[in-house]
Amino acid sequence: MAKDTSARTGEVTRRRFLSTVTAASVGAAAARWLPDGARGAPAALAATALRRGGTLKIAEIGEPPTIDPSNNTADVASTIALPVFEELFAFDASWRPQPMLVSGYTTSKDGMTYTFTLRKDVPFHNGKTLTADDVVASLNRWGKVSPRGPSVYQNVDSVSTSGSDTVVMKLKQPFAPLLAFLALPNSAAAIMPKEIVDAAGAQAPKQFIGTGPYKFVEWAPDRYVHHTRFDQYAARSEPASGYAGRKDALADDVYYYPVTQVSTRVAGVQSGTYDIADAINQDAYTELAKDPRVAVGVLPGAFLAFFFNKKQGMMTNQKMRQAVTVALDMQPILQATFGNPALYSVDASIYPKGTPWYTEAGASWYNVHDPVRAKQLAKEAGYSGQPIRWLTTQDYDYMFKSTVVSVAQLEKVGFKVDMQVMDWASVLDHRARAADYDMFSTGPGFLPDPALTTVFNSAYPGWWDTPEKNALFAQFNAEGDQAKRARLWANLQAMMYEEAPIVRPGGWASLVLSRKALPGYHPSYWIVPWNVQAVK
């Protein structure tokens, strides 16, 4: 899942700021199709005198593939890394980028040069003080190893220091969503000490050292990841809001437990074994909403997606991808997966009505459900009954259910499908190898700027990398006028449906569960453990 950012220093130009101020209306509108009382973005937090001490226990969907915040898009990795690492910016409760490790920034009139001034006396967990050299090294590594970084760095001419506390980023052309990329916790542009970055290179760092309110202690595989309070943390003075503002490490320790069975996660929160549980199945919503022991957070704006492998194998053929797309009936898939109609939407638009990005462009390819046309397209693609290798997981309940229903529909039309069920970490491993699969299931989260959407990233597994898409995407990212960006976005969505890099059955809301009495806690896409009073 994901968000957008824009610092309110008074120094950013209006043209560059326009693309980010719309994020508040995106977040608000995204909740319109949700149940009463549902919450999306992490709420703005009032300053309260909460008690320190205790341990916060969080049940996650399984093992993280890594705790490196930059080199992957796995939400479980982003969640666990979040309190340890910080970025130059962070999203507030309205999905606007706010300064985090910067004290302020300026942009040139042509939008081609960004100058970031760092906060002073910010310590890393190893005692070293943050400098511009650390930022330059971290950003340059992110630009190479992150699934999102190359989308930014293809527009970057240079990143350099100007003294110990100033970083200058020069662009080749204007890039409207820059601050959103620098604030996103997923595949994060996290800042680490230069020596650790240099030692890691393209590999995961051997030490997990950031500037966050919690510092990494231990990763005991299949048991837990343990963070403890960083007593020297340099908190911002602004009120906490979303992922931005003041962060107080109230709990002494935070533990993340890999709990692959969703029923076990739910039962653990109900019994008090865990304080928070991620990724709860939607069909449990009605009963859990009545349970006095727990609180259900509803997070809107995600969409279900089946990614095709466009680098190698049968799905490099566009007609084959279209054949699968038009064969599927989306309503039964969404109903079987999410149960409660209030938690999903059957429509072509990636963004909900009322947002600046809502569009029905490409709808002629959405929810076609035409077996005859599907068979004809498959025949034209040269399909002769070879099995479609489809990666999925039971770690995320919605991924497994949606795959099972979709596979049954495809087999009824005449496709053969090899559904390969594995843990999520294995899916992440295999989907990065072009020889290993034809499709995989996932659920991209809410992203207030479409530039952050992984399907348009040529480096993201599935690899939608065509000259036409790349040119239109570059034009969209270079445009600073919101109305023009909206029109370009409609063209991009239409292209997505026609070229079929993915199948998008529809939108949905994810659920996170917490104990009822958990002062300071607010539901969020990546669980925020700071400013939360642990139950002793």
pLDDT tens digits for 409-427?
999 999 999 999 999 999 9
The domain that contains 334 carries what CATH number? 3.10.105.10
Is residue 290 helix, strand or coil? helix
pLDDT digits (tens, 9 = 90+) for 329-358: 999 999 999 999 999 999 999 998 888 899
In this structure, of 1-5, 202-206, 285-289, the range with the lowest mean pLDDT score is 1-5
Given this model, what pLDDT does residue 31 score? 46
Residue 429 lies in a domain: yes
Overall average pLDDT of the 447-461 stretch: 92
Asked if the structure places residue 140 within a domain, the reply is no
Q: Taking the CB of residue 8, how many other CB atoms lie within 10 A of it?
A: 15
What are the helix and strand counts (H, E) for the chain? 16, 17
Q: What is the pLDDT of residue 107?
A: 97
**Tokens representing 19?**
């693309």
User: What is the secondary structure of 15-60 as a DSSP string?
Assistant: HHHHHHHTHHHHHHHHTTTSPTT---SPPB-----PPP-SEEEEEE
Mean local confidence (pLDDT), 510-527: 95
Residue 8 pLDDT greater than 70, yes or no: no
216-253 as b/e: b if 16+ CB within 10 A: bbebeeeebbbbbbbeebbebeeebbbbbbbbbbbbeb
pLDDT in tens, 121-168: 999 999 999 999 999 999 999 999 999 999 899 999 999 999 999 999
| CA 496/CA 501 separation, integer angstroms | 6
Alpha-carbon distances, residue 98 vs 87, 164, 245, 316, 448 (angstroms): 10, 22, 8, 40, 14
Q: What is the predicted pLDDT for the residue at 517?
A: 85
Residue 3: per-residue pLDDT: 32
The pLDDT, as a whole number, for residue 535 is: 86
DSSP state of 106: E
Residue 77 within a domain: no
The DSSP secondary structure of 201-264, one letter per residue, reads TTSPPSS---SSSEEEEEEETTTEEEEEE-TT----SSPPBTTBS-----SSEEEEEE---HHH
Quote the pTM value: 0.87
Q: What is the pLDDT of residue 24?
A: 46
Spatial separation of the C-alpha atoms in residues 160 and 140, rounded to whole Å = 10
| Contact assessment for residue 2 and residue 187, using Cβ atoms and an 8 Å cutoff | no
Q: What is the mean pLDDT of the chain?
A: 91
Q: Is residue 484 part of a domain?
A: yes
Asked if the model's pLDDT at residue 493 lies above 80, the reply is yes
415 falls within a domain: yes
Residue 363 lies in a domain: yes
Integer CA distances (angstroms), 227 to 187, 209, 246, in order: 20, 11, 19
**How far is residue 97's CA from residue 20's CA, in Å, rounded to a whole number?**
8
> What's the half-sphere exposure (Cβ side, CA atoms, 13 Å) at 470?
12
What are the CA-CA distances from residue 262 to residues 100, 279, 394, 397, 407 (Å)?
A: 34, 8, 9, 7, 22
Band (pLDDT 50/70/90 cuts) for residue 42 is low
State residue 139 phi and psi, 5-degree precision: -65, -40
Strand partners of residue 420? 391
Each residue of 73-127: pLDDT tens digit? 999 999 999 999 999 999 999 899 999 999 999 999 999 999 999 999 999 999 9
Total domain count, the chain: 1
Q: Which domain holds residue 445?
A: 300-510
pLDDT at 447: 86
Question: Which residues touch 511 (CB under 8 Å, ≥6 apart)?
Answer: 279, 280, 281, 282, 284, 285, 288, 296, 297, 298, 299, 343
In this predicted structure, which of 19-28, 187-196, 346-355, 447-456 has the lowest mean pLDDT? Answer: 19-28
Specify the pLDDT at position 44. Answer: 47
pLDDT of residue 390 exceeding 70:
yes
Residue 43's pLDDT band (boundaries 50, 70, 90)? low
Structure tokens at 143: 């630009």
In a domain, 442, yes or no: yes
pLDDT digits (tens, 9 = 90+) for 463-483: 999 999 999 999 999 998 989
Q: Give me the percent of the chain exceeding a pLDDT of 70.
A: 91
Contact 70, 433 (CB under 8 A): no
In 3-state terms the chain splits into helix, strand, coil percentages (rounded to 5) of 30, 20, 45
Answer yes or no: is pLDDT of 19 > 80: no
Residue 146: inside a domain: no
